[in-house]
Amino acid sequence: MARLILFNKPYGVLCQFSGDGTRPTLADYIAVPRVHAAGRLDADSEGLLALTGDGRLQARIADPRHKLPKIYWAQVEGEPDAAALATMAAGLDLGDFVTRPCRARRIDEPAGLWPRDPPIRYRAAIPTCWLEIELREGKNRQVRRMTAKIGHPTLRLIRAAIGPWSLGDLTPGAWTAVDVNLPPATAPSSPHPRKKPCSPVRSRARVS
């Protein structure tokens, strides 16, 4: 059994426990020793952050080899059409890497969404809309780069879920702890397996 902390990271909070005092860090919200973030969120992103002191659980969440889905809500500039969303979902060449296929769709503004502090810049002449994007990878600023690539820059970004865990009713700055059952660790295979002793060979008479 491993303990997992689910934290709703506010905008502007650094995803680390130490800092120079000029910006808030995780230490300003989570007074739990010996836990580390399983994956990161940029300071200008909000939403679900998972922390644990269990190395196996941390790797299971953060390592892209496990392909744990992560769901993001992105408020973008403009209104992307079905073709733009299909292009993003199929995979985009961002120059230094090509994104894996993902799931992307338009949604209504998420229910119960808290106001951001500070609010995004409002421009009456430019509409905005919300997208739900599900990734199974997590490169640096990937969602923002993907929406910009299809011509709709991200104005606000919230991570809503990581695998089976979601924000639920967590308010910004609040956290909760859950217990997670991990499968038993498999023993590493020996590079030099022991050989079974050979059985004596008994000769048999051949019948002609």
Residues of the chain with CATH 3.30.70.1560: 69-162
Asked, as a colleague might, if the bond just before 172 is cis with ω within 30 of 0, I would say no
Running along the chain, 208 residues long, what does each successive block of 10 average in pLDDT? 95 94 95 92 96 92 83 97 97 95 97 93 90 92 97 98 95 96 65 50 37
Per-residue pLDDT of 53-70, as tens digits, reads 999 999 888 887 777 899
* Percentage of the residues of the chain whose pLDDT score is greater than 70: 88
For residue 193, what pLDDT is reported? 53
DSSP 64: G
Q: Which CATH number fits domain 69-162: 3.40.50.1220, 3.40.50.300, 2.40.50.140, 3.30.70.1560?
A: 3.30.70.1560
- CB 137 within 8 Å of CB 165: no
DSSP 128-194: EEEEEEEES---TTHHHHHHHHTT--EEEEEEEEETTEE-TTPPTT-EEEEEEPPPPPPPPPPSSPP
Catalytic residue among 28, 42, 44, 54: 42
For residue 199, what pLDDT is reported? 46
Q: How far is 194 from 70, CA to CA, in rounded Å? A: 43
Per-residue pLDDT of 160-184, as tens digits, reads 999 999 999 999 999 999 999 887 7
Residues of the chain with CATH 3.30.70.580: 1-67+166-185
- Which architecture does CATH list for 1-67+166-185? 2-Layer Sandwich (3.30)
Query: Shortest CA distance to 55 belongs to which of 185, 189, 164, 188?
Result: 185
Diameter of the chain measured on Cα atoms: 101
Q: Residue 117 catalytic?
A: no
